[in-house]
Amino acid sequence: MDQPFRIGQRSTLFGILANAFLAATKGIAGILGNSYALVADAIESTTDIASSLIVWVGLKISGLPPDADHPYGHGKAEPIAATAVSLALYAAAAVIAIESIREIVTPHHAPAPFTLIVLLVVVIIKETLYRFVFRVGIRIRSTAVMTDAWHHRSDAMTSAAAFVGISVALIGGDGYESADDWAALFAAAVIVFNASRMLRSALSEVMDAAPGPAVERQVRATAQRVNGVVALDKCFVRKMGLSYYVDLHVTVDGKISVREGHDIAREVKNAILAAHPTVADVLIHIEPSDLLHE
């Protein structure tokens, strides 16, 4: 499982470097071009750097092997990192919203036209980053990496909103100078929406919510094919980092010996681990078939 963690870390580091460059570019362009929407965008990119660092650390910790204090490993560090990233998004949205309102009530000049070019380039880069990082997150089943990807999508959205706002300010002329500030305020609302969605997903994983029926169906299908399995009862699956842990109740012939029941349980476990590399461990409880009729 080391390889998926390394893949996630590499994609996160790539995002950090890109965000550092874009944050500096947008901040300078926003100040020189008199656009708070662009400055707000730079703030969002700066929080992306901190958030990506949190994701990187979370993946680093998640990849540590089990120890005496953490017999199930350190996988929970990954959704905890995703939770921290979501909270950072809320903080960024609050800063942007407060400053946007201040700029709206304060008369100022319209943004410079060159800021539109900067924003267009930013939108293209950030949307490309989102698609790349999100594919990595799906591939390695990492909530934290997918959350980090949505940071890039949020940045693309704020840049697109700023582009519209600045365009309105430039086309509208006098009286429309605050259009890009309204765009920044709208971008803050978009960030809050995405943060809420990502936070729900991360907290669900922290609370050991079931990953979805597909994983359970696959596990059950594999177990049912093992000789000696009469029926299957409970099947609980939870995600720990990038792996799944399974608790399965297997019904066998009640007349066989304890040793034979143990052998069937071992075969079921080995079959599941062989067929599903994403499953880290399987805990099997054996039940006699006599109980089916009670």
In this structure, what CATH number is given to the domain that contains residue 199? 1.20.1510.10
What CATH number did the domain enclosing 284 receive? 3.30.70.1350
Q: Are residues 68 and 176 in the same domain?
A: yes
pLDDT in tens, the chain (294 residues): 457 777 877 888 888 888 888 888 888 888 888 776 677 777 777 777 877 888 888 888 887 888 888 888 888 888 888 888 888 888 878 887 887 788 777 766 667 788 888 888 888 988 998 899 888 888 877 777 887 787 788 778 777 877 887 788 778 777 776 777 787 788 788 788 878 888 888 888 888 888 878 889 999 999 999 999 999 999 999 888 778 899 999 999 989 999 999 999 999 999 999 999 889 899 999 999 876 555
Q: Residue 78: which domain range?
A: 2-206
Helix H, strand E, coil C: the string for the chain is CHHHHHHHHHHHHHHHHHHHHHHHHHHHHHHHCCCHHHHHHHHHHHHHHHHHHHHHHHHHHHCCCCCCCCCCCCCCHHHHHHHHHHHHHHHHHHHHHHHHHHHHHCCCCCCCCHHHHHHHHHHHHHHHHHHHHHHHHHHHCCHHHHHHHHHHHHHHHHHHHHHHHHHHHHHHCCCCCCHHHHHHHHHHHHHHHHHHHHHHHHHHHHCCCCCCHHHHHHHHHHHHCCCCCCEEEEEEEEEECCEEEEEEEEEECCCCCHHHHHHHHHHHHHHHHHHCCCEEEEEEEEEEHHHHHC
Whole-structure pTM value = 0.68
Q: How many domains does the chain have?
A: 2
Domain end residue (candidates: 162, 189, 206): 206
Domain end residue (candidates: 183, 206, 229): 206
